[in-house]
Amino acid sequence: MTVGLKRKLAGLGAATLALVPTGTLADGARDWISVPVDMNFLYVYYTYSNAEASIDSNLPIDGASVDASVPIVRYARSFDLGGRVGGIQLIAPYGFIDARLDGTSLETSTDGIGDIMGIFVANIYGAPALSKEQFAKWKPEQYLTASLAVTAPTGKYDADKMLNVGKNRWVFKPQLSWGQPYDRGALLAVNANVQIFTDNDEYHGSSVLEQDALFSIEAHYSQNLTKAFWLSADAFYSYGGETSVDGVEQDNLQSTLKLGVSGSFNFTPVDAVTVAFNSTVAKRDSTPSAQTFSINYNRAW
């Protein structure tokens, strides 16, 4: 590996080609920047969330407090897709969840494998397919990347239990991500997506849960402080996602703004640790408030 490529990879931090994720894993500040083709990325996450909702952040539950610890393994690979960077990812979570009803002694807990997510990524412009040697000489430019994430109902689910790790439904999440690099290692990134849900026809036994599409947009402004260390200011806004049970609307339309910070440090050219925190700062009364902390180790080869 050339010295130039080592320096560029050190500046990437948690770079890979797609979102994460999923209710438990938010998109990172530099998840969409270009990388060389034919590279592999492995992430091991630990995410902790304290919320006034269920483990599924798309489903507000009034009067409930939930603590969720979620280890996650995530693998990504880049490849040449018609002369531009493409990629695939697999994300596998495992959840440890404790819930309680506020003002009562009622508590419950569960653990198990969560729903597995697969992601396909295709750059539209600004990320040509480059080898490691070509990438070392390339200057980053404005980019636009598309992805489609599909979450399968593979997680542990028991229709008779109030709390579940799995969601017993499919979720489809198309996304566009735009980024503009600036001098001195700064990057402005904006991601827009919509989550589309199939029905859960075993909700609390035999009920049918339906959910409207949930629209989200997020912005990240990150800055290199050294060649191996960057910090980011992050903002997330979601709207929609109202649910109904057996055709009865639950009056839980969401309009939620979260703010956060994140950062990454490369302790070798291909090994990094990334930390992120975000918290709800504005919401509707029916929408849950949550604070989420995550830390991950990632390696590129």
In a domain, 14, yes or no: yes
State pLDDT tens for residues 149-200: 999 999 999 988 877 889 999 999 999 999 999 988 999 999 999 999 999 9
pLDDT for 286 beyond 80: no
CA-wise closest residue to 16 among 41, 37, 45, 46: 41
pLDDT of residue 103: 62
Residue 193, beta-bridge partner list: 175, 216
In a domain, 51, yes or no: yes
CA-wise closest residue to 135 among 80, 90, 74: 80
pLDDT of residue 262: 97
Mean pLDDT, rounded, for 196-223: 94
State pLDDT tens for residues 289-301: 889 999 999 999 9
Structural domain total, the chain: 1
State pLDDT tens for residues 57-103: 444 455 567 888 999 999 999 999 999 999 999 999 999 988 876 66
pLDDT of residue 159: 87
In a domain, 263, yes or no: yes
Its domain, for residue 189, covers 3-295
In a domain, 160, yes or no: yes
pLDDT band of residue 260 (cuts 50, 70, 90) is very high
Q: Which residues of 142-180 are buried (b: 16+ CB within 10 A; e: fewer)?
A: ebebebebebeeebbbeeeeebbbbbbbebebebebbbe
Q: Phi and psi of 217, rounded to 5°? A: -140, 145
For residues 45 and 117, what is the distance between their CA atoms, to the nearest angstrom? 15
In a domain, 301, yes or no: no
In a domain, 57, yes or no: yes
Parallel, antiparallel or unpaired: strands 84-101 and 107-113: antiparallel
pLDDT of residue 46: 94
pLDDT band of residue 14 (cuts 50, 70, 90) is very low
pLDDT band of residue 242 (cuts 50, 70, 90) is very high
Question: ∠121-17-114 over CA atoms, to 5°?
Answer: 80
pLDDT of residue 17: 33
Q: Can you give the CATH number for the domain in which 265 is found?
A: 2.40.128.130
Mean pLDDT of the chain: 86
pTM assigned to the model? 0.86
In a domain, 274, yes or no: yes
pLDDT of residue 299: 95
pLDDT of residue 12: 37
Question: ∠80-34-26 over CA atoms, to 5°?
Answer: 115
CA-wise closest residue to 30 among 48, 9, 16: 16
Amino acid in position 212? D
pLDDT of residue 41: 96
Give the C-alpha distances (Å, rounded to integers) separating 65 from 109, 111, 162, 188, 297.
12, 16, 13, 34, 29
For residue 276 the two structure tokens come to 């992120």
In a domain, 300, yes or no: no
